[in-house]
Amino acid sequence: MLKITQTIFLFCLILICQTHNIIAQNPLVTHMFTADPTARVFNGKLYVFPSSDTYPPKGREKEFPRFCMPGYHAFSLENGATWKDHGWILKENDVPWGEKDTYAMWAPDCIEKDGKYYYYYPAKPKNDSAFRRIGVGVSKNPTGPFKWEKSFIKGVSGIDPGLLLDDDNKAYLFFGGGHELYVAPLADNMKEITQEPILVEGLPAGYKEGSFPFKKDGLYYLTFAHVFAEEGYTIGYATSDQPMGPYQYRGKIMDNIHNGTNHHSVVEYKGEWILFYHSWDISGYNKLRSMRADYMHFKKDGTIKKVIPTLRGIGTPQIGDTIQVDRYNEISGAKTAFVGGEKEPQGWMICDAKMMSYVRFDRVKFDGATSIQARIASGQRIGSFEIRLNNPKGKLIAEFPIEYTGGWSSWKTIEANISEPVTGTHNLVVVFKSDWGSTKSVNLNWLLLK
């Protein structure tokens, strides 16, 4: 049964890859599994460097009771809310010092120093000297191609590299997964450490991994995945006035969001702080993860408010960005379901919308839009759906009569004019009109401003 499900899912993933469908609400992308997202802003552009999860190769399922991780893609945010997949950055069998076919490419990081980009990643060494070693590559571009160092970084064994570049241009490598985390300063060449790693002092007891350091207003923050026996994985943080500590634990940034891992990163982008993390929205299985992002807020005293995970996530869709209304801020009287069928296995849709059902999707930049497209499927032809501004009774700007598309999973793109120019950023509300008493009007996959 598991094999049949895996085959169907692989088939779906191949189809999705072929359509290059890249979306921007939570999860950030649906065409592949992505985990351990490290976000960075380089030259004003937002990049994410995640690991990737996949199914074990056929016949080798028993060898991979845990993660099966073949290598790394990189992503950048284009327009207001579209993620571009730059393809493979590194595949496991291209690691010069790595053991082949071990699918052991756990969480990476990438950092810029003096105009060069350094990509750090863990892999299983072929000399069997440790569970994981950490390697590095250098490139002129954030998305490569990288020139990979022939050997791993001497003196470092462990997982989850997390890099800090301080204001004095000195870099530090944090790493480790276990009850302790470690840190070592890096040499100017970013390829070797200048002293033995030391234990990061002051962190709370319990399993920790995924350390991600950053600096804000002169204070060093070390965030990490932290397991509480009663709760499971959380994201915690500690602060210090020194990059290598000792640190003081300050609390949780995110509560446990089921159970499993929660590797993350923190970045400031266009004046807003964002927490990147992962969940398993698509697969329902915590070894096949998908990266997510939500806004994060600091209090005046520098402490961090807990982040509540949302479907909506980050970004402000504008002309040309897919608006996934099923990743709503509010829904009333309708439901969501995974889009099945052979043609578009690519996320979720609004379904079971009745008379006066609505769905509200916040933060859409309407500037310059003259029309709006909708991707729909319907097995009937009665009713319409309206696009309104800000709330369900807000200004009506477009209306779509419902068409019979050939059935509830026969998808068609339709278009309606925007009645008068809208400026600025508003909440977009879809209001469904149908016969009173009917339980289904239309399946709505996405909207797109033109």
- Active site positions, annotated: 36, 209
Supply the minimum distance, in Å, between the C-beta of residue 359 and ligand FUB: 32
Q: Report the first-to-last Cα separation within the chain, whole angstroms.
A: 44
* Burial of 341 from C-beta contacts in 10 A (0-12 / 13-18 / 19+): middle
- For position 103 contacting ligand FUB by CB under 6 A, the verdict is no
Following DSSP, what letter does each residue of 390-442 receive, concatenated?
SSTTS-EEEEEE----SEEEEEEEEEEE-SS---SEEEEEEEEE--TT-S---
Considering only residues 67, 118, 172, 280, which one is a binding residue for ligand FUB as defined by CB under 6 A?
A: 67
- For position 37 contacting ligand FUB by CB under 6 A, the verdict is no
The token duo for 439 is 């339980």
Supply the minimum distance, in Å, between the C-beta of residue 69 and ligand FUB: 6
In the three-class reduction of DSSP (H, G, I as helix; E, B as strand; rest coil), residue 306 is classed as coil
- For position 326 contacting ligand FUB by CB under 6 A, the verdict is no
- For position 35 contacting ligand FUB by CB under 6 A, the verdict is yes
Considering only residues 26, 261, 405, 441, which one is a binding residue for ligand FUB as defined by CB under 6 A?
A: 261
- For position 257 contacting ligand FUB by CB under 6 A, the verdict is no
- For position 210 contacting ligand FUB by CB under 6 A, the verdict is yes
Task: Tell me 284's DSSP state.
Answer: S
Within positions 154 to 183, which residues make up the interface with ligand FUB, using CB under 6 A?
159-160
In the three-class reduction of DSSP (H, G, I as helix; E, B as strand; rest coil), residue 338 is classed as strand
- For position 49 contacting ligand FUB by CB under 6 A, the verdict is no
Q: Report CA 79 to chain centroid distance, whole Å.
A: 17
- For position 85 contacting ligand FUB by CB under 6 A, the verdict is no
Supply the minimum distance, in Å, between the C-beta of residue 260 and ligand FUB: 8
# residues near ligand FUB by CB under 6 A: 13
Supply the minimum distance, in Å, between the C-beta of residue 75 and ligand FUB: 17
Measure the CA–CA gap between 376 and 398, rounded to whole angstroms: 15
Considering only residues 21, 29, 36, 184, which one is a binding residue for ligand FUB as defined by CB under 6 A?
A: 36
Closer residue to ligand FUB, CB minimum distance, 164 or 350: 164
- Which segments of 79-157 are extended strands (E)? 82-91, 109-113, 116-123, 133-139, 147-148
- For position 280 contacting ligand FUB by CB under 6 A, the verdict is no
Helices (DSSP H) in 194-291: which residue ranges? none
Closer residue to ligand FUB, CB minimum distance, 208 or 312: 208
Query: CB under 8 Å to 429, separation ≥6 — which residues?
Result: 358, 359, 360, 361, 387, 388, 389, 390, 391, 392, 394
- For position 226 contacting ligand FUB by CB under 6 A, the verdict is no
Supply the minimum distance, in Å, between the C-beta of residue 115 and ligand FUB: 29
- For position 107 contacting ligand FUB by CB under 6 A, the verdict is yes
Considering only residues 73, 133, 263, 426, which one is a binding residue for ligand FUB as defined by CB under 6 A?
A: 263
Contact (CB, 8 A) for 81 and 320: no
Measure the CA–CA gap between 252 and 235, rounded to whole angstroms: 6
Provide the binding-site residues for ligand FUB, judged by CB under 6 A. 35-36, 51, 67, 106-107, 159-160, 209-210, 225, 261, 263
